[in-house]
Structure 1
Amino acid sequence: MDRYHRGSLAVQERVGVRELADHVGRSIGTGIKDVAAAFLGLQPHLVVGAADGTGRLWASLLTGAPGFVRATGPHRMSVAGGVPAGDPLAEALATAGTRVGTISLDPRTRRRMRLGGAVEVTAGGFAVEADRVFANCPKYLQKRQPLELVAEGAGVVRRGDALTPDQERAVRAADTFFVATTGGDRTDASHRGGLPGFVEVLSPAELSWPDYPGNAMFLTLGNLAVDPRAGLLFPDWESGAVLQLSGRARTGFGPDGSRSVCFRIDSVVESLHPGRLRWSTPEYSPANPALPLHRGSATR
């Protein structure tokens, strides 16, 4: 198995972490181990990244009672049900062979697991035949406790091609978002976290965020190096609402080794789905970097 494609290798080389990336990359496997299977069975939500029928990338949030996601074989993850009605990935996740990246993140324990592969359509939802499975460290994960699954909801409440003022405020207040990217024949879903204000709204159609030091794999930035398409998912943890953005991103590299990503929005979907999950207020990760003063004032 080739753990990295040319995009990730190029970023690793530029940042000077090739040796470390080779070491960390040994954690990437193709099978779902027993400990990973047990972890999946306890989770009440799953983030899935994929391209829709027009080629736009999206990240979607699926929720359910623990057990709705489970390992049904050494290389197979099954998901009961599908995405809510009106979700941009409803058709893609009902199409065999769709390449997906998933991330299962447990805010209760600050653990996360990523799995990528191809969709199989099942009678009760879909499955993913896995070709990449690995865990990540707990860096930048905020700790939360689940409160309740809310039965009612309006579904999709707004579509557009730029952020409204309320949506801008939600992005500025976010301490977590998920990003879907693709490169070669792989699609990936990953997590980004920080203190509220770490995502800057440059305009109603453009966002920026810092790329904090992580596991040195550079899967997300590597994908963006070969394909600028990206999908972002901003969950409102306390209400269960979701804000999904699809667009294109580019990475900027500073002379001091810092990195930042600029994202241009093409499409926006805001939803308040039935069956959404509400969580408690966060206990912020001790790894979150302090914000520059100009950003710290953005949320006030």
Structure 2
Amino acid sequence: MLEQTEQDAPSPWHEGELAIQRSVGVVERMDGPGRNFVRKAMPEQHRAFFPMLPFVVLGAVDAKGDVWATVRAERPGFMASPEPEILEVGLPRDPADPADAGMEDGDAIAMLGIQLETRRRNRLNGVIRRTDAKGFDVRVGQSFGNCPQYIQPRSAAFVRGPDMPTATQPLHSGQLDDRTRRMIESADTFFVASYVDRDNGERQVDVSHRGGNAGFVRVGADGVLTIPDFAGNRFFNTLGNILVNSKAGLVFVDFETGDMLQMTGNAEVLLDSPDIATFQGAERLWRFTPKEIVLRPDALPLRWRKESVDMLRRSRG
């Protein structure tokens, strides 16, 4: 399966992804990479990569059809790949996490493995196989890598055991307050989950990284987030999904406190707007309107320290 060539592999792109590729004139150029690099199984480097990580980003869809993004932390080794088509995930159920409701047996899921200190990231999506509350397996539907663009380098350390949940209760709301606005407006990183139901009946969930200078996400007086889309790999997974299905889920992490802000709501893509010019480097915009907001103080047992790329290079010799 891993030896599948560009000629005999089907195109992975759905109509939403193709529509945005078409809008920038790259459909033919992206056909080959799609067939070659979006695989039905994990290559060896991905199978070795996921077990090294102390956290993973997940995207899941609850029973109402709302999509949530989340970050879950565990000691490295909590993920393993016994074969290229399977990733074992040793994450126990977490009732405080709204994304957990979309992680039942048979549910579609998306995963992003990201190593902030090296700026490596690999993505996969697939279907959960669960037999107990201690974890689950994912049968891979798509597996592919991403470039390191816009990833802010950070090094992480545990401040408590991942099996010791915080005593602070989640805060639920229908709108942003001053605290959550500040968290968004000061962020240089967030993650977004989206999904489509494909013509063959399969649900395809995606979760991806978004980064920029601190303050790159703007929050309007009405609580709507406006987000620039910069030059990238031209896959357009997230924006293509939103064109077909407006539901999206965002998660912001305060890397110094471990606080996590999760939101589910609706998004729209702006391919042509005068507002694009007000965001330096943006090629297009998208907007997100929160419907449900969950602030989870001290949710993560990790704390991150921001590093410069040059410092990380020196530390690795």
Alignment RMSD = 1.9
SS at match of 1:54: coil
Aligned: 1:146 with 2:156: yes
Question: Rg larger in 1 or in 2?
Answer: 2
Q: Deviations over 1:243-278 (max 9, x none)?
A: 001000001112789310110010001113565211
User: In the alignment, which residue of structure 1 is the partner of 2:127?
Assistant: 118
Task: Note closer, same or farther for the CA distance 1:42–1:85 as it changes in structure 2 (3 Å cut).
Answer: same
Corresponding residue number in structure 1 for 2:58? 48
Aligned equivalents of 1:205 and 1:247: distance in 2?
Answer: 12
State the partner residue of 1:169. Answer: 182
Partner Cα distance (1:70, 1:133) in 2? 15
> For 2:28, what is the secondary structure of its paired residue?
helix
- Gap regions ≥5 residues in structure 1: 286-300
Alignment of 1:100-139 (within 5 A): 100-123=109-132, 124-139=134-149
Structure 2-normalised TM-score?
0.85
| 1:262 match | 287
- The residue aligned with 2:200 is none
- Within 5 Å, give how 1:1-300 maps onto structure 2: 1-25=10-34, 26-93=36-103, 95-123=104-132, 124-151=134-161, 153-184=166-197, 185-203=203-221, 205-254=223-272, 258-273=283-298, 276-283=301-308
**Judging changes above 3 Å, is the alpha-carbon distance between structure 1 residues 64 and 116 closer, same or farther for their aligned structure 2 residues?**
same
Q: Quote how far apart the aligned CAs of 1:204 are.
A: 5.4
Q: 1: distance between equivalents of 2:114 and 2:263?
A: 20
Deviations 1:136-182 (A, max 9, x none): 00000010111224345235431101111011001001000000001
Residue 100 and residue 111 in structure 1: after superposition, are their counterparts in 2 closer, same or farther (change >3 A)? same
Shift of residue 281, structure 1, vs aligned partner = 2.3
* Residue pair 2:259, 2:299 contacting (<8 A) in 1 also: no
Distance 1:99 1:179 in 2: 16
Q: Flag structure 2 segments of 5+ consecutive residues without an equivalent.
A: 1-9, 198-202, 311-317
Distance (whole Å) between structure 1 residues aligned to residue 258 and residue 40 of structure 2 = 32
Q: Distance in 2 between matches of 1:273 and 1:82?
A: 18
Look up the SS of the partner of 1:203 in the other structure: coil
Change (3 A) 1:50 1:66: same
1:292 match? none
| Distance (whole Å) between structure 1 residues aligned to residue 291 and residue 204 of structure 2 | 22
1:254, 1:52 → 2: CA distance?
32
Aligned to 2:5: none
Relative to structure 1, the CA distance from residue 282 to residue 163 in structure 2 (aligned partners, 3 Å threshold; closer, same or farther) is farther
Partner SS for 2:175: coil
Once the two structures are superposed, residues 24-58 of structure 1 have per-residue CA deviations (whole angstroms, 9 ceiling, x without a partner) of 32211011122111111100111110111211110
2:155 & 2:137 partners in 1: Cα distance?
27
Aligned length: 284
- Measure the CA separation in 2 of the matches of 1:112 and 1:90: 23
Deviations 1:202-238 (A, max 9, x none): 1353101100111011111110110000000101111
Identical aligned pairs, as a percentage? 33
**d(CA) in 2 for partners of 1:229, 1:245:** 11
